[in-house]
Structure 1
Amino acid sequence: MRMRSRLATALSDGTVPQDLHKLLQGVTTEKIDAQLAHAYQSNPVETSVGAFLLEMNDSLVLVDTGAGTLFGSGFGGKLLDSLNAAGFSAEDVTDVLITHAHSDHIGGLTRSGQTVFDNATVHVGKPDIDFFLDRENAAKSGYKMLFFDQAIQIFTPYTDAGKIKAFDETTEILSGITASLHPGHTPGSAFYRLESQGQTLTFVGDIVHAQAVQFSDPSVTIVYDVDSKMAAKVRSEAFSGFANHRDLVAVPHMPFPGVGHIREAQKGYDWVPVNYSNREVKKTKQDKH
């Protein structure tokens, strides 16, 4: 599945079920169920695993890589099919931007221990590299060892090939794309802001997992957060900023395609997906950035 605009193509890695009763923190199961019912949903919630593709000059840029085979058969693993449907192969990708080092964002980087994107440089926040590639941080932080094992397994082939490019401050990593760190969900969680022809699109990673609950109450956190207090703070500040500036954002766990606006509501915020169109738009030289 894909949704394409002039510069960006939303790619689906599939969907996975999430038991919000077990995953969300700072909220009762009764409130979760009430919010889900209001959104015509029920627990567990089927959640998108999204990625995004950017065509820029001579670069083909992938934002996140889905889960690959890490979740098992039938749960994710559709990214390469989506990439092929968009008219590209893994060999065409020149850069991969990782929003954070969790399995459903980095899993597609490798298959059977080998690099999938052989010609790509992988950009990732240095605090995530420092944290997840050191198993001693599992005991220090109380975070599950599984996350460290997966990150080491996945990043090592790219590290060995000299293909990892880590950043530790706000920087323009590619022409028109600025990376910034927003620690909380993970130590190196990053936003990537694309600017083109006076317009912007910001790829925000996991600032929200449960649309029906966390937009109305951004203080609700999830067990995957390394630092839940910081994650809630990042979410609240990001929602406010995006709403005030009417920014377009791309959120991988929102319903596909996961691109839209965040709007202030009577209580909390609302998600407003982009308007859908179904026609080809001819590219001009300016469209290619």
Structure 2
Amino acid sequence: MSKSLIKWTVGTLAFSMSAVSAQAELPSQQQEQAPGWFRMMVGEYEVTALYDGQTTIDTSLLKGMEQDEILRHLNTLFIDAESGMQTAVNAFLIHTGENLVLVDAGSAACFGPTLGQVESNLRASGYSPDEVDTVLMTHLHPDHVCGLADENGEAVYPQAELRASQADADFWLDEERAAAAPEGNQAFFEMAQNAVAPYQASGRFKPFTAGDEVLMGIVAHDTHGHTAGHTSFMLNSDDDAMLVWGDVVHSYGVQFADPTVAIEFDSDPEQAIRTRESVLESAVEDKHWIAGAHMPFPGIGHIVKEEEGYRWLPVEFGPIATDD
């Protein structure tokens, strides 16, 4: 064998062994996600979506459409819902320049290990709970309200004034109503009352009524039906606007296609349907942003009218536009 051939053979072998060594040293898959926050500007207002987590709900909770039709709609969007449909839970942090406002507080420990991340994602986004001066509640269901208090019953947002609609407060915080409720529903009352309690005790709970401008540029809109006092919040800054709509839609794969589909959790299903139809129509006409508590994270987008029903157009990821 010639010397040149020997050198080529040795070199090739060394390269192959090096490649095998490099392959052997490949790091393990990380299998972790980035922190759950997303930021954009609405006029001069900075809006940060905060991911609380996700849960799975059974499609049988949707009312007004046959199950095979529900599954057909979901399958069209590549949602395999045979064992339930994934539903996100989102909250939204709004920096107006004068106030730091949290809309809804997430689930905390009320619902299993896949939820309860609002506080940690708020911190990851660059803010801390004691910097929040106002918490606005769309309604007092536990997946929105439990994150107000920690496991010791203390306020997670110690400097914040808590605001919820008078109608929802009158319903969920009424002890006599809670005691008279069916046994299976009493936990919902208890969780709402425990979450609100530290803010009431410190004199920092202040209900509002529909139509109130709760803060400069933020107006409470009556979107009741899901609960007696369910409220959405319209932000207006410069020529831009966003409606933070709470639980107007739970299943975007079904309720955009057919807004007349209700969900088991609606206290007044017929009114919830009328509200949804009105809100979707307005979103198309006015072309304002939507921020939804149960839309796929970050839960922000626009509504587009289809020949039948509507379509969700999610926001695109991008840099924050500044004047600098």
TM-score (structure 1 length as normaliser): 0.93
Q: Answer yes or no: is 1:18 the counterpart of 2:81.
A: no
Q: What is the total number of aligned residue pairs between the two structures?
A: 281
Q: 2:258 aligns with which of 217, 231, 235?
A: 217
Kept in 2: contact 1:186–1:227 (CA 8 A) = yes
Q: Go from structure 1 to structure 2 and tell me whether the alpha carbon gap of 1:217 and 1:158 turns closer, same or farther (over 3 Å shift).
A: same
Distance in 2 (alpha carbons) for counterparts of 1:283 and 1:76: 36
Corresponding position of 1:261: 302
Pairwise CA distance, 1:141: 7.2
Q: CA RMSD in A?
A: 1.6
Alignment correspondent of 2:205 = 164
For the pair 1:131 / 2:166, whether they are aligned, the reply is no
Instruction: Provide structure 2 residue ranges, at least 5 long, that are not aligned to the other structure.
Output: 1-35
**Structure ID, larger Rg:** 2
Give the Cα–Cα distance (whole angstroms) in 2 for the partners of residues 163 and 181 of structure 1: 23
Work out whether residues 209 and 220 of structure 2, in 8 Å CA contact, stay in contact via their aligned partners in 1: no
Task: Report the identity percentage.
Answer: 36
Contact 1:135 1:145 in 2 (8 A): no
How much does 1:45 deviate? 1.4
- C-alpha separation between the residues in 2 aligned to 1:163 and 1:19? 37
8 Å contact 1:125–1:181 — kept in the other structure?
no
SS in 2 for 1:145: helix
1:276 aligns with 2:317: yes
State how far apart, in whole Å, the 1-side matches of 2:53 and 2:39 are. 17
Q: Which amino acid aligns with 1:129?
A: A
Structure 1 segments (4+ residues) deviating >2 Å? 135-143, 279-284
Give, as a single letter, the amino acid of the residue that structure 2 aligns with 1:27: M
Q: C-alpha displacement at 1:280, in angstroms?
A: 4.5
| Alpha-carbon distance in 1 for matches of 2:142, 2:168 | 13
In the TM superposition, what is the alpha-carbon distance from 1:119 to its structure 2 partner? 0.2
Q: Distance in 1 between matches of 2:167 and 2:195?
A: 16
Tell me which residue corresponds to 1:97: 136
2:301 maps to 1:239: no
> Match of 1:271, SS?
strand
From the superposition, tell whether residues 68 and 37 of structure 1 become closer, same or farther in structure 2 (CA, over 3 Å): same
2-structure distance, mates of 1:249, 1:138: 33
Task: Please tell me the residue identity of whatever aligns with 1:207.
Answer: V
Q: Give the residue type in structure 1 aligned to 2:253.
A: A
Displacement of 1:58 in angstroms is: 3.1
Unpaired runs of 5+ residues, structure 1, are 285-289
Q: Summarize the Cα distance change of 1:39–1:139 in structure 2 as closer, same or farther, 3 Å threshold.
A: farther
Q: Deviations over 1:222-252 (max 9, x none)?
A: 1111111110110011111111111211011
Higher strand share: 1
Contact 2:210 2:231 in 1 (8 A): no
User: One-letter code of the match for 2:71?
Assistant: D
- 1:26 CA drift (Å): 1.2
Deviation, structure 1 residue 75: 2.4
Using the alignment, how far apart are the partners of 2:253 and 2:69 within structure 1? 11
**3-state SS of the aligned residue for 1:144?**
helix
Q: Deviations over 1:18-76 (max 9, x none)?
A: 1122x11111111111111111002211111101111122311111111011113x221
